Each structure stands twice: as structure tokens, then as C-alpha cells.
Chains A and B, each alone.
Chain A
């Protein structure tokens, strides 16, 4: 079972803001990165663990961290943002990578 917990699904109206959260005790020590998955496409890093957007990622994506929770916010969601999103960080020992349980984002 994953050590990082995410809400299974969230929906957002076109142009509105949605926040996706990732919770786990290891996040008090380690930083999370975020990935976007769409069917038939290579997964995409949308927010680095350093809280930076890779080249080509729109500035409507932002990240934050507080306590045991990491968050990815999409401000002004677009239709193309509909996808599965996963956080990733270290396990409790920091020796292995783990992924969150994933959140399906639907843009209405």
C-alpha cells in the first residue's frame, strides 16, 4: 500500500481553480514532485520537488507544501488539464521512491 495518499477524483469547472493534495508522514522530511498521466502518452513532470515548473509547463500549475501535505494547484484549469495526477517522494527511510495513490482530475 502507498505511503502517500491522494483523493481519488476531483472535478473543476473550466477556468476555475483546483488543488490536488498528497498526504504522508514522509512529506515532513522529503519533498514531492508531481506527474500528469494521459492515456497513450508519456507521463509528464509538471512540478519538480524543488517546486519549479519544467520548461513548457504552463504557469497555471503551482506547488506548495505544509506539514505532511504537498499540494499541486491548477489556477484557471483548461480542458487539456484533465488527466491523472500522481505525487512522488521518498518512503519513510528516504531510500526508495514512492508514488501517491493518484487523483483523476475532470475539467467540466
Chain B
């Protein structure tokens, strides 16, 4: 049974870099998209981005200038770095597996996307 577990510092100072790792246990990082999502206290979910096992990335345009994601297949983990953090970056950070499935209909074609497996999340507070 594949499980995801986030890890990293729970407290980061303003202007510094937030670094988190998600460990994939019971499986491999191969052939999947691995994503990060966050939830500020009292607010909704926000998509941060994904990294494909090959290294291709997709970042939320609102965070793109500060985000870097990578995957390390040998260690079965993937990582998030968010630079120049402020108090607005305080949130529970979740890692999740993102699974696409192509479809073909009479009206056209497209892709279904599902976050089918999540970690429990880790709270990161930005404060001096």
C-alpha cells in the first residue's frame, strides 16, 4: 500500500526558504505526477504545482517565481522549495499523487486529473 509522508521544518523565518520533502513508501516515484497543495489556516486548498517523475514541472502562476520542485527516484521522494516566504505562506502543506487519464468523446478529447493519494500534511509557520 503506497503512502505519502511530508517532512521538514515547522517554522521558517520571513524572507527565508521553505523546504519540504514527501517520502513515497510502498511504491516508486516512477511514471507518476507528484504534487504539492497547501491550506492556509481557516482558508481553502491552493494548488502549488507538480513535478513529473522525469523532472517536468507545472507551477501555479501565482507562485511560479518562488517555487522549485524536484524528484529523487533513488530516495523515493520529491521535494518543494518556496523562496522569500512571508506570513502569507503559513499553511498546512500536503503532498499528493496526481493521476491523469486521457479520454475520447464524440464532443472532443481531454484528460481526467485526480489527486488520488495524499499525505496527512505538515504545518509550516512563517514567523521570526
Contact = CB atoms under 8 A, between A and B. Distances in A.
Interface of A: 2, 29-31, 33, 35, 37, 40-45, 48-50, 54, 86, 88-90, 94-102
Nearest to B112: A49
Given A41-B120, A45-B116, A2 B44 contact: yes
B112 to A, nearest CB: 4
A48 B118 contact: no
Grouping DSSP codes into helix (H, G, I), strand (E, B) and loop, the A interface class, with mixed when no group exceeds half, is loop
B113 A97 contact: yes
Contact of A42 (B44, B45, B50, B119): B119
Interface of B: 4, 35, 37, 44-47, 50, 58, 60-61, 94, 96, 98, 101, 103, 110, 112-121
B44 A95 contact: no
Contact of B47 (A29, A48, A96): A96
Contacts of A101: 44
12 contacts: A2-B44, A31-B112, A42-B94, A42-B118, A43-B118, A44-B118, A45-B114, A48-B116, A50-B101, A89-B113, A94-B110, A99-B44
Given A95-B58, A99-B44, A99-B47, A35 B112 contact: no
Contacts of A41: 120
Contacts of A48: 112, 114, 116
A103 B50 CA distance: 25
Contacts of B47: 88, 96-99
A102 B119 CA distance: 19
A90 B116 contact: no
Given A43-B115, A86-B45, 14 more contacts: A30-B110, A33-B113, A42-B94, A45-B117, A48-B112, A49-B113, A50-B101, A86-B44, A94-B110, A96-B60, A97-B115, A99-B47, A101-B44, A102-B45
Contacts of A43: 94, 96, 115, 118, 121
